Chains A and B, each alone.
Chain A
């Protein structure tokens, strides 16, 4: 059974600092890994999808890396802004999505 862990559970940083969010998974036989953003009381917004054959994926200030052999993915958010405050979820897709519990980020103005 795929187990996905996200560390830390919560993070508070001053505006402008770079964010590093970690995701680990136990079974490396995945098709892809997806990062989501969730605002309080809202649904999930897909941020980045990294296929198993890729090492990283970038979108604007966001960069996600994937190391299948070690079962790790990292989401980097450059020059954080208060609007980046949200919960970030990662999900490993081995035919079904297995989610981590998320990292709640607070960016202080």
Chain B
């Protein structure tokens, strides 16, 4: 199993550009989520999905879109990048949305918006 994979590892964008951060898992997990990590702060939840076709907002959803068309993939879209979106982005997955299982994290994507 590759686990949770994320691409790209690094990305530099200019203000106003759009891009998609990719996340995939090969563990047949129902629950997937996106977090951002900023210096001095814990990880904050952006969006999550409890299964294909179902998504919901987390703590900091503004400026980001998600969709979940398959169990394996959960891409995160930045519609119009802003410097405040400079961060490290982590994708995570878990077997179910019931909350009793541990979550597995991808290696992260470092995004810089200039």
- Point out residues on A near B: beta carbons under 8 Å: 4, 31-32, 34, 36, 42-44, 46, 49, 51, 89, 91, 93-102
Contact = CB atoms under 8 A, between A and B. Distances in A.
B99 A101 contact: no
Contacts of A91: 42-43, 103
A25 to B, nearest CB: 12
B2 interface: no
Interface of B is mostly: loop
A99 B42 contact: yes
Interface in B67-105: 90, 92, 97-100, 102-105
Interface of A is mostly: strand
A35 to B, nearest CB: 10
Interface of B: 33, 35, 40-45, 48, 58, 90, 92, 97-100, 102-108
A94 B107 contact: no
B102 A101 contact: no
B87 to A, nearest CB: 14
Nearest to B39: A101
Contact of A31 (B33, B98, B105): B98
Which 7 pairs from chain A and chain B are nearest by CB? Answer: A99-B42, A31-B99, A44-B105, A43-B107, A49-B102, A99-B43, A101-B42
